[in-house]
Amino acid sequence: MKLQVINSPFSEEQVKLLNELLPKLTVEQKIWLNGYLSAPQSAEKVIVEESSQTVAPITKEVTILYGSQTGNSQGLAEKYASILKDKDVEVSIASLASFKPNNLKKITNLLLVVSTHGEGEPPDQAMQFYDFLHSKRAPNLEHLHYSVLALGDSSYEFFCKTGQDFDEQFEKLRATRIAPRTDCDLDYDEPAAQWFAAVQQELLRSTETVISSQQGQVDTKRTKSAYSRKNPFYAEVLENLNLNGRGSNKETYHVELAIEGADFHFEPGDSIGIQPENDESLVDALLTALQLNAESKVTVFEESLTLKEALQKKLEITVLSKPLLRKMAAYTTHEDFVALLEDDIAWKDYVKGRDLLDIAGDFAPFSWEAQQFVALLRKIPARLYSIASSQKANSDEVHLTIGKVSFEKNGRERLGVCSGSFTERIQVGDTVPIYVHKNQNFRLPEQEDTPIIMIGAGTGIAPYRAFLEEREELGIEGKAWLFFGDQHFVTDFLYQTDWQRWLVSGTLTKMNVAFSRDTDKKVYVQHKIEENAEVFYEWLEQGAVIYVCGDDKSMATDVDQTLHRIIEQQGQKTAEEAKAFVKELKQQKRYQRDVY
C-alpha cells in the first residue's frame, strides 16, 4: 500500500521518497525504524559511543549457547529458546562444544548460559570455546550484543567463575551487554527467570510483545509431568538394601522408589533429584548452642514457619562457605572469628568437614535475632543421584545407588544430609520428594550398535546398570566393556550378579575389576585400563564411546591422564596430538563424563 499526500504531514517530494524506500525495507528494518521513530530520543542519541553500558540490540535473531556439565544450563537454554521462538524470534541454540568460535563474527545477539565446574573450571563441553575466547585469535566483537547467565554453587570458593570470565572477556573484546550478568546458586529458578525477563525486555522492546517475568516460566501444558524441582513428587520407598557385605568399610544402598502416577519420563544417564531434610537432632543441638527459641516464627521463602521447621526442612546448616562466614561476621565481635576470615589458608582448613554447630560452639555468642539468622542461610540444595534402572524395564519404579557419607570431625560423627537420611531414618513405606533431572551430556549412542566403554568406581557404577538394562530390554547387540573399582571383592562388588548375568547373555562383552584393598599394592580402574591399553585403543578406533562416572578429583582425573597416555603411546602421537584427539572425542560426544 502506497503512502498518499492527502491527510499526511509529508510534502509530495517526501511521500515520493518514502514510497521508494518502504518496499525495499525488510520486516526487521521496519520494526527497528518503528521503534526508533516512536522512541523519545533525538537523532543525536542514535550514535552509540564505545561503552560497557547496556544498549538495545537491533535485530530479532538470537543465538543461545550453553556450557553444561550436569544438564542445568542446557535445560535453561532450551526453555528460553522455546519461549523466544513462540514470540517469533529467530533462535539458534547450540552447545559450546559444537559451536564454531569463528561464527561469533556472524551473529548479533548472544545469550550464554554456562555453569562452573570443580574449582572454577569450565565444563568439559565449554573448554575449547573458553580457550579460544581467551586466546590471541579471539576477534573484535564490537558488533555483538550479549548477556551471560552463570550457574554455580556458592559453597565453592570460585562461585560462578566461568560465567564471570566469559562476561569479562566479551567486554574486553568490545561486545555490548544486553543485560547484566546474573550469578545463580543451586536454587537458580528465580534469579534465572529475572535475568531472562530483563533480556527479553531488551530484545523485544521495539515490539508490542514484551513479556513479564512471570511469563518466563515454562508453560505447564508443554511438560509431560506436573512434577518438577519446585513441585516434587512424593515417591514411596519400596526397597532400601545395603549392597555391601558384612565387614565392609562402606555402606552403599540400593533404593527402589515407586513413581506410578508421576508421569516421569527419563533415560539412562539422567538423575533423580531428592529434596532432603536436616537431621532433627543436629537442628536441636544447633538451636541450643545458639540459644534460640525453636518455636520463634520466621519467614523463609515467603513462608511462615517455626525456626525449628525452617532449619530442619528448608535451610542448609551443614556446609560452610566464605560468603556465609562474611555475612555472619556482622553479628559478632569475636576476635578469633574476624582473624579466621582474614587468613585464607586458615578459613579453608577450618571449614572442611565442619558445620554451623561448630561455628556456634567455637565463636558464640552472636547478636542476631531468629529472622536475621535464617536470612543468612540458603535453601538446602537438592541431591542428585544417577538413575540405576531403565524405565523401559521398570516403568513404575526408579532405582538409585546411594553411598552413605559418614566421617568423624572434632569428636562428632557427621552424616551426609541425604545419604544419612536413607541409612539412618528413612524406612520402606516412607515417601521422599523427588524430581527428574535430565542430563543430555551422558547418553547412550544414537547408533545402537556403537561399542561402549563404561568406567566407574563405587556408586559411579549406577548409570551403567541403567545402560545395560536398557540395552537388554531393546535387544541391542553392540559391544560393551565395563571397568569397575571398589575396595574389596568379597564385600564391595556392587550388583555383582547383574554383571555376571549380562556377561553370560552377551549384553556385557567384557568386564575388568579393580579392588584396591585386596592386596598390598593398591589397584584402581586406571591401572586396569592401562593393562588393556592395546585393546582399549582398538575399541576407540572402532568408534567406541567412553563414559566416566564418579569422583572428579581422584578417579576421573586419573582416568583422564591414563586415556591421554594410551592415545599417545598406542596411537604413536605426541602429547599435543593426544590432547587434540581427546578434545575431538569430547566434541563428538565419544568421551562423556558424569563426575562430582
Residue 234 marked ligand-binding:
no
Residue 68 marked ligand-binding:
no
Residue 419 marked ligand-binding:
yes
Residue 158 marked ligand-binding:
yes
| pLDDT interval class at 124 (50, 70, 90) | confident
| pLDDT interval class at 311 (50, 70, 90) | very high
- The percent of residues in the chain predicted with pLDDT above 70, rounded, is 87
Residue 517 marked ligand-binding:
yes
Residue 117 marked ligand-binding:
yes
Residue 327 marked ligand-binding:
no
Distance of alpha carbon 262 from its chain centroid, rounded? Answer: 23
pLDDT at residue 208, as a whole number: 40
Q: Is the predicted pLDDT of residue 322 greater than 80, yes or no?
A: yes
pLDDT digits (tens, 9 = 90+) for 28-59: 444 445 444 434 333 333 323 333 444 444 45
* Burial of 342: CB neighbours in 10 Å, binned 0-12, 13-18, 19+: exposed
Give the CA dihedral 183, 186, 191, 197, nearest 10 degrees: 90
Among 45-59, 148-162, 201-215, 258-272, the range of highest mean pLDDT: 258-272
Average pLDDT over residues 117-126: 82
pLDDT at residue 207, as a whole number: 42
Helices (H), 401-524: 417-424, 462-474, 489-492, 496-505
pLDDT digits (tens, 9 = 90+) for 524-567: 999 999 999 999 999 999 999 999 999 888 899 999 999 999 99
Long-range Cβ contacts of 225-232 (<8 Å, 24+ apart): 225/262, 225/263, 225/264, 225/265, 225/436, 226/263, 227/262, 227/263, 227/264, 227/435, 228/435, 229/189, 229/273, 229/382, 229/435, 229/437, 230/189, 231/435, 232/273, 232/275, 232/433, 232/434, 232/435
Instruction: Report the 10 Å Cβ neighbour count for 211.
Output: 17
> Which of the 8 DSSP states describes residue 117?
B
* Cell 541450643 found at: 288
pLDDT at residue 137, as a whole number: 76
| pLDDT interval class at 15 (50, 70, 90) | low
Residue 507 marked ligand-binding:
no
Residue 425 marked ligand-binding:
no
Residue 524 marked ligand-binding:
yes
- Find out whether 167 and 137 touch, Cβ atoms under 8 Å: no
Q: Is the predicted pLDDT of residue 163 greater than 80, yes or no?
A: yes
Residue 157 marked ligand-binding:
yes
Q: Is the predicted pLDDT of residue 332 greater than 80, yes or no?
A: yes
Residue 30 marked ligand-binding:
no
Residue 75 marked ligand-binding:
no
Question: Rounded CA gap, 333 and 366, in Å?
Answer: 8
Mean pLDDT over each residue of the chain, to the nearest integer: 87
Residue 516 marked ligand-binding:
yes
Residue 427 marked ligand-binding:
no
Residue 505 marked ligand-binding:
no
Q: Is the predicted pLDDT of residue 259 greater than 60, yes or no?
A: yes
Residue 385 marked ligand-binding:
yes
Domains and CATH numbers, the chain: 1-32 (no CATH), 61-204 (3.40.50.360), 233-273+384-437 (2.40.30.10), 280-376 (1.20.990.10), 452-595 (3.40.50.80)
Residue 460 marked ligand-binding:
no
pLDDT digits (tens, 9 = 90+) for 103-112: 898 899 999 9
Residue 265 marked ligand-binding:
no
Question: Rounded CA gap, 448 and 9, in Å?
Answer: 68
Residue 261 marked ligand-binding:
no
Average pLDDT over residues 498-502: 96
Question: Rounded CA gap, 127 and 180, in Å?
Answer: 23
pLDDT at residue 41, as a whole number: 38
Three-state DSSP state, 210: coil
Give the CA dihedral 51, 57, 58, 63, nearest 10 degrees: 130
Residue 592 marked ligand-binding:
no
Residue 520 marked ligand-binding:
no
pLDDT at residue 125, as a whole number: 80
Instruction: Please name the amino acid found at residue 535.
Output: V
pLDDT digits (tens, 9 = 90+) for 449-482: 999 999 999 999 999 999 999 999 999 989 999 9
Question: Rounded CA gap, 236 and 30, in Å?
Answer: 58
Average pLDDT over residues 413-440: 95
Residues whose CB is less than 8 angstroms from the CB of residue 212 and which lie 6 or more positions away in sequence, other chains included: 197
Question: Rounded CA gap, 309 and 447, in Å?
Answer: 50
Average pLDDT over residues 128-151: 90
Residue 421 marked ligand-binding:
no
Residue 154 marked ligand-binding:
yes
Average pLDDT over residues 202-207: 66
| pLDDT interval class at 211 (50, 70, 90) | very low
Q: Is the predicted pLDDT of residue 196 greater than 70, yes or no?
A: yes
pLDDT at residue 24, as a whole number: 59
Q: Is the predicted pLDDT of residue 436 greater than 90, yes or no?
A: yes
Average pLDDT over residues 316-325: 93
Residues whose CB is less than 8 angstroms from the CB of residue 451 and which lie 6 or more positions away in sequence, other chains included: 478, 479, 480, 481, 539, 542, 543, 544, 545
Lowest mean pLDDT among 66-70, 128-132, 344-348: 66-70
Question: Rounded CA gap, 364 and 381, in Å?
Answer: 26
Residue 434 marked ligand-binding:
no
Residue 296 marked ligand-binding:
no
pLDDT at residue 136, as a whole number: 80
- What values do phi and psi take at 151, rounded to 5? -110, 145
Q: Is the dihedral of CA 210, 215, 216, 220 positive or negative?
A: negative
**Roughly what angle, to the nearest 10 degrees, separates helices 557-570 and 533-541?**
80
Residue 525 marked ligand-binding:
yes
Q: Give the cell for residue 309.
A: 521447621
Give one word for 26, left, alpha or beta, with left for phi > 0 and alpha for psi -120 to 50: beta
Residue 458 marked ligand-binding:
no
Helices (H), 248-355: 280-290, 307-313, 322-328, 335-342, 344-351
Residue 118 marked ligand-binding:
yes
* Burial of 352: CB neighbours in 10 Å, binned 0-12, 13-18, 19+: exposed
